[in-house]
Amino acid sequence: MGPEREGSLVGRAASPYQGSPGAATKSRCYSVTLGALRAARRAWRTDQTRVHTGLPESDPTTTLVIGHWAYHGSGYSPGAALLAAAIWHRRELERQFEAEGGS
């Protein structure tokens, strides 16, 4: 902490927490860690999402795959079709030129 902040209330209040990522945790005798809280929240959110979307109960012996396929057409997109036509036309002109005796 710099000397300009030594006397300020903000400097005194913030100094114990500067540079310490563990400052937000409880003491070692506190039984719940932040990791356990995150895991519990993740499990709860997963269960709530499963119930909300109507998915079956989770089974540890299987893998649930969620996804869908949508048909977007076949063939070239308009830009790719234009490029393919230009390439085809150029090669056709090269073939004609060689057929007429060009080198």
What is the structure's pLDDT at 26? 56
pLDDT at 96: 94
3-state secondary structure 37-96: HHHHHHHHHHHHHHHHHCCCCCCCCCCCCCCCCCCCCCCCCHHHHHHHHHHHHHHHHHHH
Instruction: Note down pLDDT in tens along the chain; length 103 residues.
Output: 455 555 555 555 555 555 555 555 555 555 667 888 888 999 999 889 989 988 888 787 888 777 878 887 888 889 999 999 999 999 999 999 999 987 6
